[in-house]
Amino acid sequence: MKLSIVILNYKMKGLVKNCLRAIFESIDLPEMEILVIDNASNDGIEEMLKEEFPTVKFIQTGSNLGMGGGTNVGIKNAMGEYVLILNPDILISPDSIKIMLEYLENNADVGLLAPKLLNPDGTLQYTCYRWHNFLTPFCRRTFFGTFAFGKKELARFLMHDFDHETVSEVDWLQGSCLLARKEVWEKVNYFSEEYFMYFEDTDLCRKIKNNNLKVIYFPATSVIHFHRRQSAGSLWKMLFNKLSWIHLRSWLKYEIKWRKLTLLI
């Protein structure tokens, strides 16, 4: 098996349907499987898949394992030499998967690859990043980002000074569309499951780099991403929104884990 595509669902049946349609319209790869993993959505996705996409493999986790935990179920059950992680809100463009596969096949030192992500209107999404500093989450999630110091920090973090049309090694990549060899996923022990949601992609890139492999932003091809920043907003929203607190907890876990390891090294 050449390629496994893993899509995690949590109450996004309609988006999963659109994502699958785009895949089947865009790629003709005989040695390919698609796995949809469901985190106990109870949204009728299994019935929809049986009726409209009978070749897609469905796995029910039985509970909400979070982004990393649910996706890991799919990766561990994948049979492909390469495993592509897709959010349900991604629409694959023609030949994008083929182009990414060819690049990985020809670059053994690359551990992880992500294409350029575009908004539905064709504008760029900033999805490759420099490492966080302590103020980055506050500048991202509150009005601090409107101040001069916040704008400067966000420009650094989001790599506004970077040519987003150039294939380049970066610090880390957003986890919406990621391609890696199955052996690399196994080598780094998959996504770290201490994060329920957020920072599992940042953590993954740290682990891959620590294994002397490159994390590559790959704008030689692009996909559409219907992105919703549900944890962003005002300070009031950050204080009272559940997703904001999940994001904050994940950030603190990440900081404690990696700053401690850096000090030990």
pLDDT of residue 234: 47
In the chain, at which residue ranges do the beta strands (DSSP E only) sit? 3-9, 32-38, 57-60, 82-86, 90-91, 110-118, 128-129, 168-169, 172-173, 177-181, 214-225
The rounded distance, in Å, linking the Cα atoms of 249 and 252 is: 5
Q: How many domains in the chain?
A: 1
For the chain, the farthest-separated pair of C-alpha atoms sits apart, in whole angstroms, at 53
pTM here is: 0.90
Q: According to the 3-state scheme, what is the secondary structure of 161-181? A: CCCCCCCEECCEECCCEEEEE
At 98-128, the pLDDT tens digits run 999 999 999 999 999 999 999 999 999 999 9
**Predicted local confidence at residue 101, as pLDDT:** 96
Radius of gyration of the chain measured on its C-alpha atoms: 18
Q: Give the pLDDT band (50/70/90) at residue 263.
A: very low
Q: How far apart are CA 251 and CA 256, in angstroms?
A: 9
Residue-level pLDDT at 179: 98
CA distance 199 to 215: 16
Local structure of residue 126 (DSSP, 8 states): -
Q: What is the mean pLDDT of residues 219-236?
A: 72
- The range of the structural domain enclosing residue 147 comes to 3-264
Provide the pLDDT for residue 12: 95
Q: Domain with 119 in it: what CATH number?
A: 3.90.550.10
Give the pairing type, strands 110-118 and 168-169: unpaired
Task: Identify the pLDDT of residue 241.
Answer: 62
Instruction: Report the alpha-carbon distance of residue 256 to residue 47 in Å, rounded.
Output: 42
State the Cα–Cα distance between residues 45 and 250, nearest whole angstrom: 28
- Using the predicted structure, report yes or no on whether residue 257 has a pLDDT greater than 90: no
